[in-house]
Amino acid sequence: MDFELDEDLTLLRDTARQFSEEELRPRADALDREHTFPIAEFRKAAELGFAGVLIPEEFGGTALGNVALSLLLIEINRACASTGVTVSVHNSLVCGPVTKFGSADVQKRYLPRLARGEILGAYALTEPNAGSDAGSLRTRAVRKGDYWVLDGTKVFVTSGDHAGLVIVYARTGDTGRTGDITAFLVEPSFPGFAIGRVEDKMGIRGSHCCEVILTECRVPVANVLGEVGHGFRIAMDTLDGGRIGIASQAIGIAQACLEESIKYAKERHQFGHPISDFQAIQWKLADMASRIEAARLLTLRAAWRRDRKEPHTQDSSMAKLQASTTCNFVAREAVQIHGGAGYLRDFPVERHFRDARITELYEGTTEVQRLVIARHLLK
């Protein structure tokens, strides 16, 4: 058993930390306030190879894998969770499945552009009536000659309005079962593709999530990802990876909260002492740090198992459950340690508190992670 990072991973983490401090932290507050999509930040990240962590070198990626992606996302989210989710979705929900399930033709056409950050990826599974129960989705795909014709509405599509490639899940049969679902690689330039409402959110306000409306949208047959009828399996395998990404996001946000809290507790004086002298504050810091470390170990282990192609569905759900609930616990304590100041926009913990909330909701709610874990325990 080895808890040390090797040379490549150490270099990646240090480069990501420097990038986040220099390029992301100074802009994070403005992105949040102005609801500005971090496309410039994404492009800069891509220049450092951060858009192709799961893409093979022959297509211009770094192929460093899921442990590397987790370390990268912890550092990015420590500074800016809006950029964090943009990079996470691109790598884990789009580059990952195109690499794993794409035909040789699809890989050649999309992977180099995804790795360079020339196109940003999005993942469209959720529908107005299919959230936690994603298998009940209704978007239809009907084959007409060399095309599949897609009709339906997707909601909550992260980066949808800036994406160059959207993986859309649609029903290609009539049984109503998950074996009827197929994954399609859809470009916004395809006829019948439109962006609907861009949502106004509580947190990660720089990230955009929007409706994708498909009206007789024509997708070439060659743009099926994997096999017809294998879409739900692809969606679930993809989420096993994506949940490690969101767990990493949660750890990054929590780490930022802890660091801000330590700094503030040493600076703020009451009753003639820095508040860090009070045991009530010390215990909070100790609990915050211990829970973050536990979540970090679970998350890196899940990533390590995914890299080794070992079964890891339960590990991913445990990592996301622990990291996201820890993140919300830590963010709450961070605001408490800041007192009234923590409620003001002037202090970063106010943004972190709002950003933390999403980690318990997307890519499977906390309740859904518990369902997945319990299903494994009881089988």
Ligand X SMILES: Cc1cc2nc3c(=O)[nH]c(=O)nc-3n(C[C@H](O)[C@H](O)[C@H](O)COP(=O)(O)OP(=O)(O)OC[C@H]3O[C@@H](n4cnc5c(N)ncnc54)[C@H](O)[C@@H]3O)c2cc1C
Catalytically active residues, by annotation: 363
- Nearer to ligand X (CB atom), residue 103 or residue 365: 365
- Nearer to ligand X (CB atom), residue 131 or residue 135: 131
What residue ranges bind ligand X (CB under 6 A)? 89, 123-126, 131-132, 156-158, 201, 209, 358, 361-365, 367-368, 371
- Nearer to ligand X (CB atom), residue 296 or residue 320: 320
Rg over CA atoms, the chain:
21
**What are the φ and ψ backbone dihedral angles of 22, each rounded to 5 degrees?**
-85, -40
User: What's the closest the beta carbon of residue 361 comes to ligand X, in angstroms?
Assistant: 5
| Rounded Cα distance, 344 and 228, in Å | 51
- Nearer to ligand X (CB atom), residue 88 or residue 276: 88
Q: Which residue is nearest to ligand X (CB)?
A: 131
Q: Following DSSP, what letter does each residue of 105-159 receive, concatenated?
A: HHHHHHHHHHHHTSS-EEEE--BTTBSS-GGG---EEEEETTEEEEEEEEEEEET
Evaluate whether 197 touches 217 at the Cβ level (below 8 Å): no
User: What's the closest the beta carbon of residue 293 comes to ligand X, in angstroms?
Assistant: 27
User: What's the closest the beta carbon of residue 38 comes to ligand X, in angstroms?
Assistant: 14
| Rounded Cα distance, 249 and 331, in Å | 13
Cα-based distances in Å from 159 to 32, 136, 183, 210: 15, 23, 18, 8
User: What's the closest the beta carbon of residue 89 comes to ligand X, in angstroms?
Assistant: 6
To the nearest 10°, the Cα dihedral for 91, 92, 94, 95? 50
User: What's the closest the beta carbon of residue 127 comes to ligand X, in angstroms?
Assistant: 8
- Nearer to ligand X (CB atom), residue 18 or residue 132: 132
Evaluate whether 70 touches 246 at the Cβ level (below 8 Å): no
Q: Is the dihedral of CA 361, 310, 97, 178 positive or negative?
A: negative
